[in-house]
Amino acid sequence: MSKYLQRFADWIQENPSFQLLRGKWDELDQQSRLYLKVASATMVVLLAGWVFIGSWWKVRSIKSEIAEKDTILRQVQSARNEMQALRNQIPPSRTGEADAQPWSIYFESIAGGIGLEKSSLEVSTESAGQSRGLSKESFFEVSLKKINVKQLTRFAAQVENGRRPVKIRKMQIETKSDLSGYLDAKLSVAVYSMKNSS
């Protein structure tokens, strides 16, 4: 490396333009040389200052852009978290996703969730109702046998407030004469589902 630097220094000293400048420098008096040195040093300082200010301004702009993008990223993440929280609060049937589970199995799952035996539940075949727009209405007769008042109340509440749209249209209750506290109930329910697009 030092060999190449030495060659470069020799080339500069042998250059006619450098020798001409060297001659002009030697012709100057002491005061002129001092002025020229001060002017050269000033120019170097100003150039260095300009480069420093330019670099500082560029770094400042980059930092500002990073801070702005970081703020946007935080807002997007916050909005995504809020949307996820809202999705978790909406029952699956209300999100537009088709629930392919048969209605009879759906009613059985509700009954099982409140502790009813499978033999206590009987679901009739589906009968068609009205169709409006994209929704389809159907009717079922749900019979509950040998249950108590608390179980009937819980079942009815779960049916109307469950994850699928169901309305109880009519309820018939038949009490037992043996003073056991059990009863039979028949619920006429209307169910709603999305029409098949096909």
Q: What is the CATH number of the domain that holds 166?
A: 3.30.70.60
What's the rounded Cα separation, in Å, for the pair 27 and 29?
7
pLDDT at 190: 92
Q: How much is the pLDDT for 95?
A: 41
pLDDT at 155: 93
User: Are residues 111 and 186 part of one domain?
Assistant: yes
Residue 52 lies in a domain: yes
Question: Are 46 and 109 contained in the same domain?
Answer: no
Do 41 and 124 lie in one domain? The reply is no
Q: Are residues 51 and 119 in the same domain?
A: no
Is 87:95 a contact under the CB 8 Å cutoff?
A: yes
Are 32 and 119 in a shared domain?
no
Name the amino acid, one letter, at 180: S
pTM above 0.85, yes or no: no
Assess whether 181 and 110 both reside in one domain: yes
One domain for residues 104 and 179: yes
Asked if 49 and 110 sit in the same domain, the reply is no
Query: Whole domain around residue 135: which residue ranges?
Result: 98-194
**Structural domain contains residue 55:** yes
Is 131 domain-assigned? Answer: yes
pLDDT of residue 93: 46
* Predicted pLDDT of residue 29: 73
Which pLDDT does position 15 carry in this prediction? Answer: 67
Task: Looking at the structure, tell me whether residues 51 and 106 fall in a common domain.
Answer: no
Number of folded domains that form the chain: 2
The pLDDT value given to residue 34: 75
Rounded Cα distance, 148 and 187, in Å: 15
Q: CA-based angle 91:95:101, to the nearest 5?
A: 70
The one-character DSSP state at 187 is: E
Q: Give residue 59's pLDDT.
A: 85
Return averaged pLDDT per consecutive 10 residues of the chain, 198 residues in all: 65 66 68 73 83 85 82 75 60 48 90 88 88 82 91 91 90 81 90 71
CA-CA distance, 198 to 158, in Å (whole number)?
32
In a domain, 82, yes or no: no
Query: Number of C-alpha atoms within 13 angstroms, CB side, residue 105?
Result: 4
Claim to verify: residue 34 and residue 112 sit in the same structural domain: no
Q: Which residues of 79-110 are buried (b: 16+ CB within 10 A; e: fewer)?
A: eeeeeeeeeeeeeebeeeeebeeebbebbeeb
Please tell me the predicted confidence (pLDDT) of residue 135.
76
SS3 category, 172? strand
pLDDT of residue 197: 52
